[in-house]
Amino acid sequence: MIWVKLIGGAVLGVFGSGLAIMLLEKTVHSRLEGTTMFVAVVVIYAVAAVLGAVLSGWIGGTWAAVAVGVLLAALAAMNTFAMPHPIWFIPASALAIAAGCWIGLRLLQATVSPAA
């Protein structure tokens, strides 16, 4: 049963964060261009990582949230190498995803932990 929660949480987290990225990037790409667009995409990655970590961690625990962070980083790397991006975008997106997952885990721990 623990594997179902772990895998289900990771799948839900990736789906939720992917949906957020898709919807927000569609809006950003239609309204912004140039460096401003890439900065907005980095922010979108961070927000989506927070969302994915909270969703997956809520269902599957810490390891599901970590798995979502790893999968988001892999998907962002594939996207970065598939289309031209500025050189600063690669470390910025990696840092945004890592920070977003960490923040998501901290938010989850703060809401689930018992009051002191």
Kindly report, residue by residue over 89-100, the tens digit of the pLDDT. 999 999 999 999
Q: pLDDT class for 115, splitting at 50, 70, 90?
A: very low
Q: Could you tell me the pTM of the whole model? A: 0.88
Buried b (16+ CB within 10 A) or exposed e, 32-56: eeeeeebbbbbebbbbbbbbbbbbb
Task: Please give the backbone phi and psi of residue 77, each rounded to the nearest 5 degrees, phi first.
Answer: -65, -40
pLDDT value at residue 22: 94
